[in-house]
Structure 1
Amino acid sequence: MYCHAPAGFMRACLMVLLSLVISLALEAQPGLAQATDEMTDAPPPPGSALVIDNAAYASGGLPSAPALSSAQSLARELTRIGFNVGIAANLRQNAMRGAINAFTGAIKPGSAALFFFSGYGVEAKGATYLIPIDANIWTEADVRDQGISVDAILAAMDKAGAKVKIMILDASRRNPFERRFRSLSGGLGAIDPPPQTLLLSSAEPGKVVDGDGNIFIGELLKELRSPDARADDVFNHTRLGVARATSNQQTPVVKSTLTEPFFLKSGSGTPDLPADAKADAGAVQLGPPQDAKPGAVFRDCAACPELVIVPAGDFAMGSQDFAAEQPVHSVTIGQPFAIGRGEVTFAQWDACVADGGCAGWRPDDRGRDHNDGPVGEVSWSDAHRFLDWLSRKSGHPYRLPSEAEWEYAARAGAPTRFWWGDEAGSGHANCRGCGGGGQPSPAGSYPANAFGLFDTAGNIAEWVEDCWSENYEGAPHDGGVAHDGPCKQRVVRGGSFDAGPRYVRSASRFLYDAELRYYTNGFRIVRDLP
């Protein structure tokens, strides 16, 4: 083909020639054409998000924080557009670091990663630090020691392989810490985002916001609900909306180092998945990663339940609410372990029955989801039959969690009554009074906690290994089983869809006969790591 045209048309002509060359090459190599199509059509990995709302600061009083429901609404909106979302509230330093490590550990290379923080932020030596609720700050050195660096979080997201890094900071509040070593609150420092990052901060560097963040979050939520909007447009429209609503008293900041358009809905990888499929979104690695990175998800065989790696750490177990939950005592989980991302489902139980491992017992599904719904009406002994079968099938030993391991994983670093805060609210768990109730919901119908676990509150009550004890007197501090050996009564944790909010708190515990098959009781699995 010969191309003769004026100079103004030469570029178009060259493009025609190039297209023809590519077409001829692909016709000559059909395998190459197929591979090219597959690479073009392959969806990106599902995006990960972590939402942290810190309000109950132990030192310095309560900030003018937005209601926790605003952060919860954000988590629900991010879930709707396709992100795998973890949400946590009122985190102490160790718990906050653990939640962030679990979040960055769950990032899939090539995916989008989004981090949101609401609470206090402080600038020190030109860098910005996010403040845990147990911080006791008197100097700039304390800020650097006890705060968590924004730059470090972005660097960890980048190191994990996030193709697009998104950070939203609602932390430019006048705080009580700075007056101890400064005359005025200075707001956040200027943040220099790394490549392929989109940043939204609720106020300009050096400026503070008096009052709550409801306007900021409200404008952001409104823009997130716009169909098929580019991420930078969402943030810029949020900035304009806040400035307009506050008569220019508050102007958020948008910074972008993106080199190509990014759409939150399509970029997150699974925008159109129904809620009950989110727990299974994306390819899951077979076998644990060698570095046992917290937040990593894997399974030991195609039919095995998904597991998530929980980091080592410590927490205060129990509560003052009921005598059976006392005394509150410190527990240290010395090693990471893998725990079921969700509760064992009917489909997984049926596979055990079909393979001869579960004694032919088929619980009644009572008209609910028989595939992704959690299996109920199984006894503690039934759960052990499943664990024995799964251990033989996979070649790896499985077990029930200890009571301490269960509560540690369920809390995901939160010292509050529920992993999302002190009030049950709605939209976080399936129970009577939580916006659910009536029957169990499929796995992944509600947001995961900060460790990536679904349904640790409500849905199906879960057997643990321990024998029942009247209280925690003499309980071990290493996360081990408190009372083991032959016993008639065992412990269930987490409450169920048929229980009220007080019974689905992270500290709630109950006794059942080990041989009783009750329709609200099921289990999740644990596997120790090498």
Structure 2
Amino acid sequence: MSGISVFLLLALVAGQATAAKRVALVIGNDSYQTSPKLQNARNDARAVAGALSEIGFTLSGGQAHLDVSRGDLLRLVRDFTGSLSSDDIALFYFAGHGVAGGGENWLLPVNDGEIRFQEDVPDYAVSAQSVLQRLEVRGGGINLVILDACRNNPLPDRRRSVGATRGLQRMQAPFGSFIVYAAGLGEAALDGRGSNGLFTQELLTRIRTPGLRVDDLFTQVRNAVRSASGSQQTPWSESSLPDVFYLVPGAQPPALAAAPALDPRLAEEAAFKAAQAANSVEGWQIFQRRYPNSAYAATAEIQLAALTRPRPQPQPTQPQSRPQLQTPSQAPAVAATGWAAKDCPDCPEMVKIPGRNYSMGKFEVTFDEWDACHAAGGCSKRPDDEGWGRGRRPVINVSWEQVTQQYIPWLNHKTGKTYRLPTEEEWEHAARAGTTTEYWWGNDIGRNRANCLTCGSQWDSLGVAPVGSFAANPWGLHDVHGNVREWTQGCSERHCGRRVIRAGSWSDLPADLRAASRRESTPRAATMGLGFRLARTD
């Protein structure tokens, strides 16, 4: 199959599986707008859905989902993972195109018309790692991930260095996980002789076998694929499973049936060592949920306290003087180092940046502020809010060209001021607010400090939050990490045919929210995760 099939299973260990529900989300994409159309992806999805139904899985949405868009893919994953408990057996299957770049694997939706270059992928595709992370944060179960992918990335790349590699990236298997790649690095996942891809074809012939351990199942699939392809394709796997798991329970060989169950104390010890190795907030929280009465409970609590304790931040130097515009009656101070003020009722609220000759938007520009431009005839587009609401939510679905050629000229004419997009240096300087850590509050994303895929907020992966829903940085700027990505003046390293985006969005992983994180996109791109914040020359 010239594309990607992803089969992702989370399950409990064999001794606990009998009490768990079995739920599967199955997706197959063939009819791409730009990428080559596929022949077998929808067939693979239908066949896998049928086989899973036969072995006791309930299909999420009642069917295999075919030719889905990015919005639909995000919604399906959100609804699927949101319906699961920590004891459920959850299976995610994706058949379609997939590419790797920037250290991540990306699942391509059928509405891929804007994906022309490698650097476009993060704006219009869905991260495979993010799907795994959403399933993993349930805090229980065994994670089984299988990628059946074309190992050749057909997208050209115009940047000097982006870390892209041939084929998909290897994803680290967290404790309790089993990850399978349908082809080795540099290999291609081949079409089968019939209506299914070679890897899926071999999987379908064995998936119903009772009493076959999941690792033995994929060993058989590996050998069959290698033989059928003349050694051109060899599936590979990485495992950190604590115990055996059977996709279809049944009679086992006598020696296996007589094997003693895993000592719960050993499982607890292994989980504790895994949490120690990860040393992250998420890792210790998972350990606490799984073993609330552990002898290591106090250690876990101490480690969590250390990771979540606010770290001292360097105090920015106080400016020696302040512009006359920013008087206490007109603009109350929002932080020790800056005041906020508006030039008009419909204008963005601006914060003076200490020691610099510019101000930055206290918030990202909102739908209310953009709609005022549209009502006045300055902006031709009334952007879609994706059903999340307008008002004080950050405006989305606006391009760099629409911002710089319509909204900013209208605002400058209205106020007589010099508004503009910030440079990259100005944006990062203001976002850091004198700090040197990954995020202005520290090096760990923490909980409920921002809106992203796994930030622990009520809006995670659901869409944009109203501006100001999270605490401001030391200089009074809100949402510099997460919610929506933000346009800047910055150009790509080679030319200005592409513009630089900073921050991260509600659909990004925490790593994409770091103050140093940057992306590029075409000036005409307008997506549901992309907005902007203004600068003003003072």
- TM-score normalized with structure 2 length: 0.40
- TM-score normalized with structure 1 length: 0.40
